[in-house]
Amino acid sequence: MGTETGRQEVHFFYRVPLDRIHVIPYPAPRPINYLASLPARQNFILYPANFWPHKNHLNLLLALQILVRDKHQDLALVLSGAASEREKLLRKQVLDLGLRKN
């Protein structure tokens, strides 16, 4: 169980005794400073999501391209999802859209 609320729900709905249900918080991921490579005053959008198709990273890149084109060249997009094949495809899209510095 990740929370006390979840513990109480399991007890209530499934009648599991409370002493048999333990709250174990979700472990925090290893801290990585994704923003360290950005200039100190650069504006950025942080999107902390894995690179699954339904997370719409490509649409985010297309929106960023519009913003950069419309005089927001200093805007950066920081994506912090786990490495995957989809991430590789998105890196190629970044280059194709001319957003390498963003």
In this predicted structure, what is the pLDDT of residue 56? 93
**Is this model's pTM higher than 0.75 or not?**
no
Q: Does residue 26 carry a pLDDT above 90? A: no
The Cα–Cα gap between 51 and 34 comes to: 16
In this predicted structure, what is the pLDDT of residue 40? 72
Distances (CA, A) of 36 to 33, 39, 40, 42, 55: 6, 8, 9, 11, 24
Report whether 78 contacts 47 (CB < 8 A): yes
What is the token pair recorded at 53? Answer: 């198709």
